[in-house]
Amino acid sequence: AEDIEGEALTTLILNKLRGTFVCVGVKAPGFGDRRKEMLRDIAVLTGGEVISSEIGLELKDTTVMQLGRARQVKVDKENTIIVDGAGDADAIKGRVAQIRAQIEVSTSD
C-alpha cells in the first residue's frame, strides 16, 4: 500500500478480528515507476494482483482470490521477506528474465 489508512486499515483490522485470513499491511517499497514495478514483482511472486485505480481496480471491489499468498512472510520495521510465494513458477521465471533484460539494457548504454 502507498499508505495504510482509512478503508485499507479498517479492512485489515476487521479481517484480523474476524479471523477471515492472516494478513499484514506493508508500505510499498520504492517511489514512482519503480514502486509500481516492485509491487508487480511481489504480485508475480505471490500469485496476486496489483490493486490500483490506475489499472481500474479498487480496494472496495477486491476479492480474496486477487490476494497473493506465501508460506511465510516476515515483517519488521525496515524489511519484508516473502518465503515460498504461491506465484506460478513460469510467471516468476518470465519476470526474472524481464528484469535481467532491463538490467542488460540499462548497463549497456
> Quick one: pLDDT band at residue 2, thresholds 50, 70, 90?
low
Q: Which domain holds residue 75?
A: 31-105
In a domain, 68, yes or no: yes
The torsion defined by the Cα of 13, 15, 18 and 21, in degrees rounded to 10, comes to -140
In a domain, 16, yes or no: no
In a domain, 66, yes or no: yes
pTM for this entry: 0.80
Locate all alpha helices (DSSP H) within the chain, ordered by sequence.
Answer: 6-18, 32-46, 89-108
Q: What are the cell numbers at 84?
A: 515460498
Closest CA to 72 of 60, 63, 81: 81
Phi, psi for residue 38 in degrees, rounded to 5 = -70, -40
In a domain, 47, yes or no: yes
| 62-104 confidence digits (pLDDT tens) | 888 998 999 999 999 889 999 999 999 999 999 999 999 999 9
In a domain, 12, yes or no: no
Report the 10 Å Cβ neighbour count for 48. Answer: 20
In a domain, 39, yes or no: yes
Q: How many domains does one find in the chain?
A: 1
In a domain, 24, yes or no: no
Q: What is the CATH number of the domain that holds 56?
A: 3.50.7.10
In a domain, 43, yes or no: yes
Structural contact between residues 50 and 36, judged by C-beta atoms closer than 8 angstroms = yes
